[in-house]
C-alpha cells in the first residue's frame, strides 16, 4: 500500500515562517559548508493525524524575537502552531521527484486516491 503525501498550508493562506538554525563551517581548505535545521515541536490537533511532530511555525509577531532584533525569550516561541491554523490535503506522490515542478502538484487528490 502506498502512503499518501499531504500538502500543508495555513487556513488564511499567509506564508509560514519556520524556526530554524543555520551555521557556516569553514574547512581547513577554506571551503564553507552551510548547514541548517528546522526545529520541530509536538504536533497540534490539526497535524496529529499525519505525524507526532511538526515544524515550529513562527507567528509574524515573533519574527523580531527569533531574529534577535528586539531581544526576548526565543524558547517561548518553540511551541506547536495554534489549533485551527493549519489545513492539509492529499496530493500526488509526484512531488517526491525534484524534476516535477508544476503548480498542479498541489492539487487535491480525489478519493479513492489513485494516481
Distance CA(95)–CA(99), nearest Å, equals: 9
- pLDDT tens digits, 30-71: 999 999 999 999 999 999 999 999 999 999 999 999 999 998
CB-CB neighbours of 32 under 10 Å:
8
Q: Is 109 helix (H, G, I), strand (E, B) or coil?
A: coil
C-alpha cell at 91: 496530493
More confident position, 83 or 113: 83
- pLDDT tens digits, 76-98: 999 999 999 999 999 999 999 99
Tell me what pLDDT residue 115 has.
57
Tell me what pLDDT residue 1 has.
47
The pTM score is 0.80
Distance CA(13)–CA(27), nearest Å, equals: 41
Distance CA(57)–CA(19), nearest Å, equals: 6
Q: How many CA atoms lie within 13 A of 69 on its CB side?
A: 6
Q: By the 8 A CB rule, do 84 and 11 touch?
A: yes
Over its C-alpha atoms, the chain yields an Rg (Å, rounded) of 18
Q: Which domains does the chain have, with CATH numbers?
A: 5-106 (3.90.1680.10)
Amino acid at each position: 500500500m502506498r502512503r499518501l503525501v499531504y500538502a500543508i498550508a495555513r487556513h488564511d493562506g499567509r506564508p509560514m515562517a519556520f524556526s530554524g538554525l543555520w551555521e557556516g563551517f569553514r574547512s581547513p581548505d577554506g571551503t564553507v559548508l552551510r548547514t541548517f535545521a528546522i526545529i520541530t515541536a509536538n504536533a497540534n490537533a490539526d497535524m496529529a493525524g499525519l505525524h507526532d511532530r511538526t515544524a515550529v511555525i513562527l507567528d509574524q509577531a515573533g519574527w523580531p524575537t527569533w531574529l534577535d532584533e528586539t531581544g526576548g525569550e526565543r524558547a517561548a516561541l518553540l511551541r506547536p502552531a495554534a489549533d485551527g491554523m493549519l489545513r492539509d490535503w492529499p496530493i500526488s506522490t509526484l512531488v517526491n521527484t525534484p524534476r516535477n515542478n508544476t503548480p498542479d502538484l498541489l492539487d487535491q487528490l480525489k478519493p479513492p486516491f489513485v494516481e
